[in-house]
Structure 1
Amino acid sequence: MEKMAISDKDTLLVIDVQRDFCAAGALAIPDGDAVVPIVNQLAQHFRHVILTQDWHTPGHHSFAASHVHRHPYETIQAPYGEQTLWPDHCVQGTPGADFHPDLDIPHAELILRKGFRPNIDSYSAFLENDKTTPTGLAGYLRERGFQRIFLVGLAYDYCVRFSAVDAVRAGFSAFVIEDACRAVGLPGSVEATGQEFAELGVKRIQATDIQPCLESNFSSAGLS
């Protein structure tokens, strides 16, 4: 495909590149650390970058340990629908909730925390898992005039997927940079992600599809 030039109407949405989702983390995603240098490089092509951060309360409803006789990766029926149960992860104020130590995006303009309501999980950067409670991100993006959202991070088949789908439903163009993501890879999850992206018009691209910026592009922002 023709390389895509990035403009001031675009933003890079970096999803949950946190210690607990990387090597030796509580919910380590296979090869999760590999996204960090790719994300760092991509971020240099965007003047506008937003980071999301999973930020769970202790004993969160989505944790398997919060349910008697339940184990990680089982599913339950929550009041808002089906919920996958996870190992305890990204608990507020713990080292596992910190961003990966090699993530280097000093010009990020917003850190959006999600999953902090004790009784509901939040995969998407736009909506809680009840599909109705907003995080406020859509309003922020609209007020700032952004039109295209480029998504990277962890995990491709959960938080990246839900965020991309909700971005399209909110009226934005969504591009998932696949080689800057990694998947949890539960049975059928990656296949279902690709199918949903195709159905809703989420575009799947590679990091090399982004046109490298000229140094002068960001000189006024101190990013050259």
Structure 2
Amino acid sequence: MKRARVAFDGAVHRAVEEEGALRLEDGRLVQEDEVVWLPPVTPRTIVALGLNYADHARELAFKAPEEPLVFLKGPNALVGHRAHTRRPADVTYMHYECELGVVIGRPARNVARADAYAYVAGYTVANDYALRDYLENYYRPNLRVKNRDGGTPIGPWLVDAADVPDPMDLALRSMVNGKVTQEGSTRDMIFDVPHLVAYLSGFMTLMPGDVILTGTPDGVVDTAPGDVVVTEIEGIGRLENTIIADDGR
């Protein structure tokens, strides 16, 4: 099942996908272009991975990590499908990152790798923009690189884990203004989903709704105000976002 959170008729609603439309929790059926899309989950904690695809590490001239490079993101970074993301006026390089988002379904602490999938509620698409001008070093992005308000579109859907037979064999791609600029597969992750759930839960408790952003393959390019960026993952969804200037124009 594909689940969503949307604003419609002055209220926030849970909804499910039904034949190309949205069935609200109160029973009304509305079209996708009639709603304001919100992030499909409201996480307490967002954990993100750097350089989790070897080809992306090479693209940035960095050595592939020997253990997960983890950083945290604030919830204000998240925006929904079809939202706007601002590009700061002083930035010379701002690129998208198509990422599989793993949503935790129940409290996870000291989870064994073999049991990891039992703690996953589902999956979503994320576009974790990076502002390369502000990067301090490859292993610790500072707050301005990855934590700007509205800098991480996510959604449109939370797809139930039961409907994703193998999350480690999904095609990813990104398009800028309709042109394909990034293609890859989750099978090329350095640290796969079970490894990440086991690793993270070994020192922190993951709670329902928490999100793990699993990194991006190579193929990132600079984006400019006016660009429409689409990040999509096979079987999970198609996430659209528009870049605007920092003055809102």
- In proportion to residue count, which structure has more strand? 2
Global fold match (TM > 0.5)? no
TM range (shorter): under 0.3
